[in-house]
Chain A
Amino acid sequence: MDALTAFFDMGGYARFIWPAYGLVTLVALGLLVTSGRALRSRERELAQLQERNPGRRGRIYE
């Protein structure tokens, strides 16, 4: 068995170790993408609202 195969085999525990790493990668990237997208879409929405209501900036102290 060459070194690369041995690495991916993980001493026979590949089916536990790689799914663990894969899942963490997937969820972390998912958090990153959804959080970034939500920020962008709200930036766009706010810009449109401010264009429609000149002079109002949307204060959050109510």
Chain B
Amino acid sequence: MLGLSTPSGFVRFAKAVSPWLWVASALLIGGGLYFALLVSPADYQQGQTVRIMYIHVPSAWLGMMGYSVMALSSAAALIWKNPLADLVAKASAPVGACFTFLCLATGSLWGKPMWGTWWAWDARLTSMLILLFLYFGYIALQNAFDDPGRGARAAAILALAGFVNVPVIKFSVDWWKTLHQPASLMKMSGPALHPSMLTPLLLMVAGFTCFYVAVLMVRVRSEILAAKIRALRLSEIHSVQAAGVADGVAG
């Protein structure tokens, strides 16, 4: 598919697509902010704090998407040994972790005035916190081995095992009716949001997604370069050793 599964094909594709993604992301988020802060009304129950939703929900979405990309790439890396898949998984982890953190932080800033508490051990909140810890575990495990290949393999297995948490997050509000409100966007019966609130939310989700993909592409290109640098340094060491052996034989 477009030669995308090879590093050089990916770099070509990323360089062609990235500028458009940045522009789309800026326009969508700009428009989203305009509607979120200026046009959309205050909620009849939550008042102005409903405006936090327009950054909270896209952050949650990216936290889960970042993990899904990481887990699926890890599966591709384990099954097909695709050299690019490991790099995609590695590149996605810090981005997804950042947005998971933002989801928790913005949720907390909404929870204090609305629930009267910064934090509750509600099923949705707890499973989201577990997602953040899974990201931390993944990143730590990857760097815990001297051989980056072994680190990537161990981390990939953790990513796959932890993937079970993603549907748990999604359905946590239906399985345990604790505190967090149920889904209002991804519902079988269609979104249960008035267009005046749906517009900014969808714009922000789309803008955040473009931002994520664009940042991911920068980071994957960066990981490809890091792997090349590592390969070149290794070959330098080998040639120095070979020269040393040759000198030894000659002397």
Beta-carbon contact of B232 and A27 below 8 Å: no
A35:B222 contact, CB within 8 angstroms = yes
Q: How far is the CB of B151 from chain A (nearest CB, A)?
A: 15
For residue A31, which residues in chain B have a CB less than 8 angstroms away from its CB? 94-95, 98, 215
Interface size on A, residues (CB 8 A): 36
Question: Is B98's CB under 8 angstroms from A42's CB?
Answer: no
Task: Assess the A60–B102 pair: CB atoms within 8 A.
Answer: no
Residues of A within 8 A of B193 (CB): none
Q: Given the complex, which residues of B lie within 8 Å of A1, measured CB to CB?
A: none
Main secondary structure of the interface of A (DSSP, over half): helix
Point out the residue from B109, B219, B225, B232 that lies within 8 Å of A43, measured CB to CB: B225
Interface residues on B, range: 35 or more
A residues in contact with B47, CB < 8 Å: 11-13
| Contact surface of B with A, Cβ cutoff 8 Å | 7, 37-38, 42, 47-49, 51-52, 55-56, 59, 83, 94-95, 98, 101-102, 105-106, 109-110, 112-113, 211, 215, 218-219, 221-222, 224-229, 231-233, 235-236
Cβ proximity bits A27-47 to B, threshold 8 Å, 1 near / 0 not: 110111001101100110110
Q: Would you give the shortest CB distance from B244 to chain A, in whole angstroms?
A: 17
Indicate whether A19 sits within 8 Å of B109 (C-beta atoms), given known contacts A35-B218, A46-B225.
yes
C-alpha gap A35/B110 in the complex (Å): 29
Which residues from A are CB-within-8-Å of B102? 23-24, 27
Complex Cα distance, B105 from A7, in Å, reads 22
On chain B, the residues within 8 Å of A52 by CB distance are 236
Question: Which residue in B55, B110, B224 is a CB contact (below 8 Å) of A60?
Answer: B224
